Structure 1
Amino acid sequence: MYKNIMVAVDHSPQSPQVLDEAIKLAKMSGARLHVVTIANLYEFAFDEAGRRDEGRLQVQAESKARQVLEPHLIRAEQEGVNVSAHPVVSWGAGEEIAKALINEAQDSDAEVLVMGTHGRTGLAHLFLGSVAEAVIRSAPMPVLILRSPDRH
């Protein structure tokens, strides 16, 4: 089956469910699990208005990303899965984040990418885009998408 699985998590309430599915898949196939989250420099650039120190932004974004990754890494380790975790740096939203995730999946030799979708609609979808949609359109590997349980 799979030897390498990448799972993308974030700070959303859906992430534990996404991780659980990736853990199940990793256990069934004896795969290594690579847990990633986006360290989005764009989010921190607004906080630093007028002082665009990219090095400082990267440190802040990676620090926040590691905080997001830590509980997911611990959970996977507790389940006995061979796991690694890594923040993925990106400038932007939607398509840019999707490209960063796909590049990381390819770099980590992932044979499948597991991620959630926030299910944004309307203006939120228009302005923020759908990372999941962009990944599905561009990923060269299979993608398992989990919908947010509060969306119908």
Structure 2
Amino acid sequence: MYDRILVALDDSASAQMALGEAVRLAKESRGVVYGVSVVDRGRWPGEVSARFEFEPEPSAASNAATHIFDEANALFRDSGVSGKTRAIDAYGESVPEVIARAAEECDADIIVMGTHGRRGASRFMLGSVAESLVRASQRPVLLVRHHGHGSGAQTASQA
């Protein structure tokens, strides 16, 4: 089924739901979850590592990623799922492009990502990272929709 599952992580409720779905898929298929958080520190590119590890740096973005990874790693451990986490600096590149490239690097069978499910003007004004990822990726994308305020979640169709 899915041997390598990449999940996009940030500090949102929809990302937490996507992480849960990625872990569920990994448990069913005995796969590995690759949790990726894209940060932008505004620096010029140096050497970009393709390894899945995180080396903390003193910044707000790094602190946020560390907290996100602590939660993800705890869920991996508690669920008995193999998982790895990685922070990637965007260096000015779009988040969907960075996620799509990370999926290629780890040869992901599927990308799981949370979405807020915005419609109309709010979606137009804010853009849709999820929609852009579906367009940018050569891999299947499973969107996990969060409706907010405790109204539950809905898993969208695989793109």
TM over 0.5: yes
CA shift for structure 1 position 33: 0.7
Contact 2:117 2:147 in 1 (8 A): no
Superposition RMSD in Å: 2.4
Aligned to 2:81: 81
1:123 and 1:41 map into 2 onto residues whose CA distance is 29
User: What SS class does the counterpart of residue 74 from structure 1 fall into?
Assistant: helix
Aligned counterparts of 2:120 and 2:41: Cα–Cα separation in 1: 25
State how far apart, in whole Å, the 2-side matches of 1:119 and 1:25 are. 22
Distance in 2 between residues matched to 1:102 and 1:59, nearest whole Å? 27
| Matching residue within 106, 123, 134 for 2:104 | 106
What residue identity is the alignment partner of 2:97? K
CA distance in 2, matches of 1:121, 1:7: 23
Distance change >3 Å, CA 132–CA 80, structure 1 → 2: same
The Cα of 1:70 is off from its aligned counterpart by 1.4
2-structure distance, mates of 1:125, 1:114: 20
* Separation (CA, whole Å) in 1 of partners of 2:85 and 2:139: 20
Distance in 2 (CA, whole Å) between partners of 1:128 and 1:38 is 18
Instruction: Using the aligned pairs only, state the percent identity.
Output: 31
TM-superposition CA deviations, 1:60-81 (whole Å, max 9, x none)? 2233212222111211121000
Which AA in structure 1 matches 2:90?
A: S
Q: Does 2:140 align with 1:142?
A: yes
Unaligned runs of 5+ in 2: 45-56, 155-159
Higher deviation after alignment, 8-17 or 136-145 = 8-17
Whole-angstrom CA distance in 2 between matches of 1:77 and 1:39 = 24
Counterparts of 1:14-33 in structure 2, within 5 Å, are 14-33=14-33
TM-score w.r.t. length of structure 2: 0.75
Secondary structure of the 2:5 match is strand
Q: Which runs of 5+ in 1 are unaligned?
A: 43-53
Equivalent residues of 1:116, 1:148 under 8 A apart? yes
Q: Count residues with an aligned counterpart.
A: 137
2:11 matched residue in structure 1: 11
How far apart are the structure 1 equivalents of 2:147 and 2:23? 18
| TM-score, normalised relative to structure 1 | 0.78
Structure 1 runs of 4+ aligned residues shifted over 2 Å read 61-64, 119-128, 149-152
Higher alpha-carbon deviation: 66-75 or 22-31? 66-75
Q: Does the Cα contact within 8 Å between 1:91 and 1:97 map onto a contact in 2?
A: no
